[in-house]
Amino acid sequence: MQALISAKELHALLDQQNVKLLDASISFQIPSESKKITDKWIPNTYRFDYDNDFCLPDTSLPHMMPTEAGFNASAQKLGLNNEDLIIVYDNSGTLASPRGWWMLKAMGHENVKVLNGGLPAWIEAGLPVVDSLAKPEQLGNFAGKLNKNAFLDANAVLEYSNNCSAHIVDARSRARFFGEVPEPREGLRSGHIPNSLCLPFQELLDNGYIKPNSELKQAFSELSLYNDNSIIFSCGSGVTACILLLAAHQLDLRNLSVYDGSWTEWGADCSLPITR
């Protein structure tokens, strides 16, 4: 199933009762991100907050995937149901929303899509907006089962790095990947995971839209990612890695995972090897 939906396609679905819209915008500024639209939403949008609600508590790492029970509880509180078609978007393009999409996919919810171009695309199409979020009126029945291979920890990534049994693809800029500039988060080493590849997420976007499949295919082909190996996507903190993963999904690539801690974890742990 293709993961993207256009503003026009979404507008045609809004009257359906089982359609749920989620704002998965993130508070911090992503590199090269356009200005966030923080005071407008598509009508009947609920807040999918993976910094405070859909996250793992009691960890210093940001927006980590919660436990199965934790995710289900938050989803039910938000009024999500197993039978819903869920559309995820963000307020500055297609940047943070793929993370929300992948979290739902990881919980086994297949009927989920990303609004390509996000809220700016909706506004550009001249479609209606409101100035407040919707509030759930009742608990939902969402009950997902977590795919433990969807998000990997540092130990698993280290093993894949050592034996080269999977592709590890980093969504950060080449300057960060090669350790030519300091990391934006304090206290992190510069460089990359040994035996990993670099595919900056910006190269898969065009003015906030995911590029057409033909262009995505070229980017993935240049890294020789078309084989049977699993692909693990990494970035700064597990958000923009999901842009790459969504693109891979669009190309029907399989066995896809995100290194959840990403460079925020790897760069801070001096026991883990780095390459420049």
CATH of the domain at 241: 3.40.250.10
- What is the reported pTM? 0.96
Predicted pLDDT of residue 48 = 98
Q: Are residues 225 and 168 in the same domain?
A: yes
Predicted pLDDT of residue 72 = 99
Q: Are residues 12 and 117 in the same domain?
A: yes
pLDDT lower than 50: segments of the chain: none
Q: Are residues 107 and 155 in the same domain?
A: no
Residue (of 199, 176, 200, 198) closest to 188 by Cα position: 176
pLDDT digits (tens, 9 = 90+) for 162-198: 999 999 999 999 999 999 999 999 999 999 999 999 9
Predicted pLDDT of residue 261 = 98
- The residues that are catalytic are 235
Give the Cα separation of 10 and 12 in Å (integer).
Answer: 5
Q: Tokens 């993961």 sit at which residue?
A: 3
- Total number of domains constituting the chain: 2
In a domain, 138, yes or no: no
Helices (H), the chain: 7-11, 68-77, 97-106, 118-124, 154-163, 174-177, 213-222, 241-250, 262-266
Q: Are residues 168 and 252 in the same domain?
A: yes
Predicted pLDDT of residue 37 = 86
Q: Are residues 117 and 160 in the same domain?
A: no
In a domain, 37, yes or no: yes
- What's the domain range around 56? 4-124
Q: Are residues 212 and 260 in the same domain?
A: yes
Predicted pLDDT of residue 209 = 97
Predicted pLDDT of residue 31 = 64
Q: Are residues 13 and 120 in the same domain?
A: yes
Predicted pLDDT of residue 35 = 75
